[in-house]
Each structure stands twice: as C-alpha cells, then as structure tokens.
Amino acid sequence: MINKLFVTAIAMAISFTSYAQQSDGSTKSLVKAEKEFAQYVAKNGLRSAYQTYATPDALTFSPNPTNARTYYSTQPDHKGLTWTPVFAKVSKSGDWGFTTGPYTLNTDPIVYGQYLSIWKAVNNKWSVVLDLNTVHNKPLDKTKQQIVEPASSYKPRLVNEKQIAAGRGIIETTEKTLNATLKSYGIAAFAGFLNPDARVLFPGREPIIGKDNAIAFYNQMVSKMAIKTTKADKALGGDLAYTYGVATIDYKADLRESFHYVYVYELQPDHNWNIILQIYTPAER
C-alpha cells in the first residue's frame, strides 16, 4: 500500500510539473506557467525551480550574463521571492513570449523591483531562456495588467537555419541603425524606435510607461548613449524579437555607467520594428 501511494504521488508530481508548463500558443498559458513558476519557488526554492523551469542554456544577469541553472545552484535558496506578471505577450507562432512585472524579495531589508522573463516553448512546454531584473524603492503605483493575446496564429512549416539567421540579421541591423542614430542625434533617436505604449524598466525607477514619458526620462538624465548588441533572436512568426547587449550611458551629471540591456521589439503594420520594452541592469566592468 505504501509503495503504491508513493508511486502514485511521484506520478502526480511529474504530471503536474509537465501540465503546469504546457504551452498552447496563448499568452494565457504563458502567464499561467509564470505564476506556477513563482508558486514553485515559494514551495521549493530557487535552485530546484530553475532546474525545473529553465532550459539548460538559459541566461540570467548577476550582474553579467551567466548560465541560470549554474548560478542559482550556488546561491541562497530563497523561498521568499514573489512576483506577478502584469505585461505579457506571445508571438503568433507560439514559440516564444515574455512576461514582466513587479517582484518582492522578503529579506532584511525587503527588496523591490521589476523583472523580465523571456520564455520559449520547448516540446510544447514553456521554459525560461533569459531573465533579469531591476531594483527600486517600495512602489507607490500599481501597474495596470496588460495580457495581450496573439492577434492571429502563424507558424511556418519548414524553416532552416539560414532563414532563422536571416531573421536575426534583420533585428541586428535594426539595432545597429538605432545605435548609429543615437550617435548622430542623441536621445532624440528613440523617438523613431519606441512604440507609443513602450515601457522602460530602469534601476531606481518604477516602470516608465509610454513613449513620451520614456523620452522625457532619457532627456532629463542622459547626455549620450551607445549600445552594443550581443545577441538577437526573432520569433518564427516574425512579429516579436528581442536583443541583449551592453549600453554605455553618459549622464548629464558627468558620470558614465555601463548596463546590460534587453530590448523587446514588435513588428508594426508599417513593417518597422519598434521597441515595446526596455530593461537595464548594472554591468560589472
């Protein structure tokens, strides 16, 4: 009887883990996986969670890019980390998406901030491939939830590595153009690349939402900025992409600082790639 109960419990646990991360191509299923990831951390700790929910090559920024599974296996096994997705999108191909929102780490003192997680559907199961976070004071405002479902469904049947590389090349070229424009026109360059509803997650700040607010923020504190792309990836559906790299910021206060960044891009009806999300975290020089 004991053996049967034990085997049944193990089978149920395995079944739950598999079901919890199931992807059906919807943003709803991704948000569900993110919430269950948070519940898993609260119950089992970070080490086990990243072994379960992250791909073997997933990256985290701590502060520089490093393998997430390896990093968390050597860190304190926090169970007091809680977070809530408030903005999420999935590509119309259903192969990857992202969530972002506030988090709280219940240490002494309590740490508050914002996170971004990039997820991929691997064998129809959502898995984390990249995550990073910013830190700010206890939030004063509550961000409105925006869970956006794909407007349509499209996934090419036959895609080879050459086509995938070409897709990434388009995003890399877009970002090179952004960097060149930043050099020529300064922060005003973002006016041509940020979506009207873009949001910026910057250390020490609550989410800055809206293109006008983002440009006002940059104008207030930044003298110059240069970005160098490390990697770009594009969804098979051709509607979403992301990059990460290093941003060098010269403040108006005569100070230079380096950050790791992740930019999420979305293809617009006019066929331009606009940035819908920017997040920065300090880099170790």
What architecture does CATH give domain 161-282? Roll (3.10)
Asked if the model's pLDDT at residue 75 lies above 50, the reply is yes
Would you identify the CATH topology of the domain 2-148? Nuclear Transport Factor 2; Chain: A, (3.10.450)
Q: How confident is the prediction for the chain on average, in pLDDT?
A: 91
Express each pLDDT in 35-59 by its tens digit.
999 999 999 999 999 999 999 999 9
pLDDT at residue 158, as a whole number: 76
pLDDT at residue 72, as a whole number: 94
Note every long-range contact of 243-246, with CB atoms under 8 Å and residues 24 or more positions apart, other chains counting. 243/171, 243/172, 243/175, 244/59, 244/65, 244/130, 245/175, 246/283
Q: Count of residues for the chain?
A: 285
Confidence of residue 252 (pLDDT cuts 50, 70, 90): very high
Express each pLDDT in 99-136 by its tens digit.
999 999 999 999 999 999 999 999 999 999 999 999 99
Confidence of residue 261 (pLDDT cuts 50, 70, 90): very high
Q: Where are the domains of the chain?
A: 2-148, 161-282
pLDDT at residue 15, as a whole number: 38
Asked if the model's pLDDT at residue 156 lies above 90, the reply is no
pLDDT at residue 9, as a whole number: 35
pLDDT at residue 4, as a whole number: 40
Proportion of the chain above pLDDT 90, given as a percent: 82
Confidence of residue 20 (pLDDT cuts 50, 70, 90): low
Q: Are strands 125-136 and 222-234 parallel, antiparallel or unpaired?
A: unpaired
Is residue 204 exposed (0-12), middle (13-18) or buried (19+ Cβ within 10 Å)?
exposed
Cα–Cα dist 124/11, whole Å: 20
**Which residues, other chains included, contact 159 with Cβ-Cβ below 8 Å and sequence gap of 6+?**
236
pTM score of the predicted model: 0.91
**Torsion sign (Cα): 22, 207, 231, 169:** positive
The first and second tokens of residue 71, run together, are: 């990093």
pLDDT at residue 141, as a whole number: 82
pLDDT at residue 247, as a whole number: 98
Q: Look at 2-6, 104-108, 182-186 and tell me which has the smallest mean pLDDT.
A: 2-6
Asked if the model's pLDDT at residue 155 lies above 90, the reply is no
Do 2-148 and 161-282 agree at the fold level?
yes
